[in-house]
Amino acid sequence: MAFRFSQKTVTDGLVLYYDTANPQSYVSGSTTSNDLSITQSTGTLSNGVGYSSDDKGAWLFDGVDDKIVSGLKDPFNFDVSDPFSIDLWFNPIEVSMNSLLASKWKPNDSSTTARGYYLGLILLGSPSRVKLRFAFFNTNMKFIATNIEEVISDNTWYHTVLTYDGSGNASGVNIYLDGSLRTKTITQDNLISPATTDVNFQVGGQGNSFIGFLGFNGYISNTKVYDRVLTSDEVKNNYNALKYRFI
Widest distance between CA atoms in the chain = 51
Sheet holding 99-106, edge to edge: 32-33, 43-46, 67-70, 202-203, 99-106, 115-124, 129-137, 143-148, 184-189
Q: Could you tell me which residues come within 8 angstroms of residue 151 by beta carbon, excluding any fewer than 6 positions away?
A: 129, 130, 131
Q: Does residue 44 have a pLDDT over 80?
A: yes
User: With contact defined as beta carbons under 8 Å apart, do 89 and 158 qualify?
Assistant: yes
- Residue 209 or residue 171, greater confidence: 171
Mean pLDDT across the chain, nearest whole number?
91
Q: Who's near 220: CB < 8 A, 6+ residues apart?
A: 58, 59, 61, 88, 89, 90, 91, 101, 203, 204
pLDDT in tens, 215-229: 999 999 999 999 999
Left (φ > 0), alpha (ψ -120 to 50) or beta: where does 167 sit? alpha
Cis amide prior to 127 (ω within 30 degrees): yes
Q: What contacts 4, CB < 8 A, 6 or more positions away? A: 22, 24, 36
Domain boundaries, the chain: 14-245
> What b/e sequence results for 182-196 when a residue is b if at least 16 CB atoms lie within 10 Å of its CB, and e otherwise?
bebeeeeeebeeebb
pLDDT in tens, 117-162: 999 998 876 565 789 999 999 988 899 999 998 999 999 999 999 9
Distance CA 33, CA 25 (A): 5
The reported pTM is 0.94
With cut-offs at 50, 70 and 90, classify the pLDDT of residue 208: confident
Q: How many residues does this entry show for the chain?
A: 247
Report the CATH architecture of 14-245.
Answer: Sandwich (2.60)
- The predicted-structure confidence for 54-71, as pLDDT tens digits, reads as follows 999 999 999 999 999 999
Does the N-terminal peptide bond of residue 194 adopt cis geometry, omega within 30 degrees of 0?
A: yes
Q: Where does the pLDDT of residue 210 fall: very low under 50, low under 70, confident under 90, or very high at 90 and above?
A: low
Q: In the predicted model, is pLDDT for residue 1 greater than 70?
A: no
